[in-house]
Structure 1
Amino acid sequence: MIKQRGQVVIDKILDTAERLFFTQGYHITGINQVIEEADIAKASLYKHFGSKTDLLVAYLQRLHECWFNKLEADVNKEVDPKAKLLILFDHHLERQVRNGYGGCRFIKANDEAGMSDERVLAEIQKAKQHLKDFIARLVVNSGHQKLLTDKELTGLIFMMLDGGIIAASIFKQADDLQSAKAIIQKLL
């Protein structure tokens, strides 16, 4: 499938913004830097994104879709319902290793812009709620030991994933994500 020229430009802009927002942060990244590094005209950026916030929202939307599709594909490769829950930790661990323990892109965006822009916060909440809902479905189908209610186990897994990612980004290692996985495995 051949991409339309407009989509090629949008992808160049979003790819550049993604790299810059992740490596140096949203506030430090300027529109002129995105334009320069994407090697596009200023008019091209503003044709597709009216503001830097619009660019951030589009980046978060694309990130959510790509990230969740990969997560779901990884989980769906497993047939054992309990193992599906543990794959969540493997998936997040692999992402942290691949990204140099850079943390969660949604949490980073929330720290920088989620408090000041409702659209940004809404996109971050949408992505995190999607993950929570996905975990909840996996928990219900897991046949876990019922040491916790489905809702409690869902909340615990969600918090341990995010907490493990934050710890991985702080300590630049995966020990806490691996420990979280081992704890959840005992509860299953």
Structure 2
Amino acid sequence: MRTFVESESAGTPKATAGPKGKAEGSPSKPSPATRLLDTASTLFAEHGIRAVGIDRILAEAGVARASLYSSYGSKDALVLAYLDDLDQRDRQRWHAAVEPLDDPIAKILTFFDLAMQSAPKKNFRGCQYANAATEFPQEPLEPVLAHREWLKTTLVELLDLAGVSEPEAVARRVQLIYDGALSGSKFEHSVEPIRFGRDMARDVIGSHL
């Protein structure tokens, strides 16, 4: 992968998608790698990736610069680790939410339900994947692409289980509605666009049953 964040130190190792190994740390205190990722995740989500420099991340995480390079290799890799962690957490959150559900359509609408729950908690910052892609329009951010592919595949599988005609085409429509709902929520600082998007998605699915 090409470097997409300007290096803040000459000779920075090539970015990788996660920690190089377990960093030192006592059981009662998170490791430097964990503190770096947690701190970066909070700052990137609140202020954007480009706006947050390494010095601020290191200061708020309370770790030495050497820990960044030994754990991740560069800010580039820390950004990828942040996006990959976000992807995995979102998948786990959805799987946990739909575990008691049997209806495939209800599972699809859960994407909107979870978005309505999280939007106010995130101060209506919108989709973090879209925000990252906007900051780096020339770069294919692998975790972002992986998340969108997972969402698309999941929608197609559930629509097929529900007996929807043309599941791939309908999945595309539902995904576009979902994208627009998250953007609308960010612009309006409200969950109403997500609620409206949920209703639209339900109607689109229903029209193909």
- Asked if Structure 1 and Structure 2 have the same fold, meaning a TM-score greater than 0.5 normalized by the shorter chain, the answer is yes
CA contact (8 A) 1:92 1:161 kept: no
After superposition, where does 1:67-146 map in structure 2 within 5 Å?
67-115=90-138, 117-118=139-140, 121-144=141-164, 146=165
**Structure 1 pair 97/33, CA: closer, same or farther in 2 (3 Å)?**
same
Alignment RMSD: 1.7
Is residue 24 of structure 2 the alignment partner of residue 5 of structure 1? yes
**What stretches of structure 2 of length at least 5 have no aligned partner?**
1-21
Match of 1:35 in 2: 58
| 1:90-144 Cα shifts (integer Å, max 9, x gaps) | 01211212211111111111111252x44xx222111111111111111111234
Write the distance in 1 (CA, Å) between the matches of 2:198 and 2:133.
Answer: 25
Question: Within 1, Cα distance between the matches of 2:91 and 2:44?
Answer: 19
| Equivalent position amino acid for 1:26 in 2 | I
8 Å Cα contact 2:155/2:171 also seen in 1: yes
SS of structure 1 residue aligned to 2:63: coil
Query: Structure 2 length normalisation: TM-score?
Result: 0.80
The equivalent residue for 1:180 is 197
Task: Give the equivalent residue in structure 2 for 1:59.
Answer: 82
Identity in percent: 26
For residue 71 of structure 1, report the CA deviation from its aligned partner. Answer: 1.1
Structure 2: distance between partners of 1:98 and 1:78? 25
Q: Is the 8 A contact 2:159 2:171 kept in 1?
A: yes
Cα deviation for residue 174 of structure 1 reads 1.3
Residues 23, 33 of structure 2: 8 Å contact kept? no
Tell me how far 1:4 sits from its aligned partner: 6.7
CA distance in 2, matches of 1:80, 1:87: 11
1:121-169 per-position Cα deviation (integer Å, ceiling 9, x unaligned)? 222111111111111111111234x4xx211210111111111011101
The one-letter amino acid paired with 2:182 is I
2:183 aligned with 1:166, yes or no?
Answer: yes
Q: Is the 8 A contact 1:82 1:143 kept in 2?
A: no
TM-score by length of 1: 0.89
Amino acid in structure 1 at the alignment position of 2:160: V
